[in-house]
Structure 1
Amino acid sequence: MLETQKLDGFELAVKDFMISSERVAHVQKGNNLEHALLVLTRSGYTAIPVLDHTFKLQGLISTPRIMDVIMGIERIEFEKLDQIKVEEVMNADLPCLDENDPLEEALELLIDHPFICVVEGKGTFAGILTRRQVLKQVNRLIKKIKYN
């Protein structure tokens, strides 16, 4: 069992674990769905952040949301992809963290989400916090405590 006294005074913030915005695939809210689907497919992710022209976080776009829009009754309507903007389809209701939030707050959100978007200041996109990144760091910390 992890000894809590070894963690006294050990404060961690979201920024200590996040992947910076420069390394995160994203689209602009004015892009069309064809572009968004291309970015999603090339990146290998099922959801990516949507930003405005000032790099403020607006929402998330996902492959399932795009597919819902182009799925017709008898066929997939691919021609809709270049006619519909990301902002018309994106999910604007998403959990979000400030880069200075404590890690405990992030852990609660990561239970239900594979990643959480992180903002700084007045909503500028700073990066993402992934469940994978947190688990890697927790694993490293446990090994460090165990062998010290």
Structure 2
Amino acid sequence: MEISSFLLPKDQVAFIASSISMLEAMEQLEQHYYSAIPIIDDEGKYVGTLSEGDLLWKLKNTADLGFENMREVTVSEIQRHVHNESVEIHAQMEDMLTLAADQNFVPVVDGAGVFLGIIRRKDIIEYYTRNITD
């Protein structure tokens, strides 16, 4: 089964631009109660996922970085410690289980890498639960 029927579209998903500040990213995570959020570049392409841990590591490992100057650091300057793999819109649900084991959500892109939305781990697990019990 194609994943398109499970897609939570971009207009219903919180995401951040790679050009925003570290402080703005932190505020977005807090506002949406997320522990990780997709990052999109200026062309709308998925470039990665930023996690709370990435922000903490950046704070810990950057001398003189604190809450007062986090506006000076852009998201693109923050090293991401976990690579959340994306899939193309025509992928099959059968390909999603392995990704769902390691990711809260799977970013979905078109053939050019443009971010279309996400598939939530919850939806993947529900799909497999229904198919196992049927």
TM-score using structure 2 length: 0.86
Structure 2 CA distance for partners of 1:90 and 1:117, relative to 1, 3 Å: farther
Shift of 1:140: 4.8
Is 1:36 equivalent to 2:25 in the alignment? yes
Identity %: 24
Deviations 1:88-133 (A, max 9, x none): 1153843110111111111121112221111012001011111111
Q: Considering only CA atoms, is the larger Rg found in Structure 1 or Structure 2? A: 1
TM-superposition CA deviations, 1:5-39 (whole Å, max 9, x none):
xxxxxxx1121212111111111011000110000
Aligned Cα root-mean-square deviation (Å): 2.3
8 A contact 1:50–1:57 mirrored in 2: yes
- After TM superposition, the score normalised by the length of structure 1 is 0.78
Partner-residue secondary structure (3-state), 1:58 = strand
| Structure 2 unmatched runs, 5+ | none
Q: Indicate which of 40, 58, 83 corresponds to 1:51.
A: 40
> Alignment length, in residue pairs?
132
Q: 1:97 aligns with which of 87, 92, 108?
A: 87
Kindly indicate whether the alpha-carbon contact (under 8 Å) linking 2:22 and 2:74 is maintained by their aligned counterparts in 1: yes
- 2:112 and 2:70 map into 1 onto residues whose CA distance is 32
Find the aligned partners of 1:42 and 1:66 in 2 and give their Cα distance.
15
Which residue number corresponds to residue 103 of structure 2?
Answer: 113
Shift in Å, 1:76? 7.7
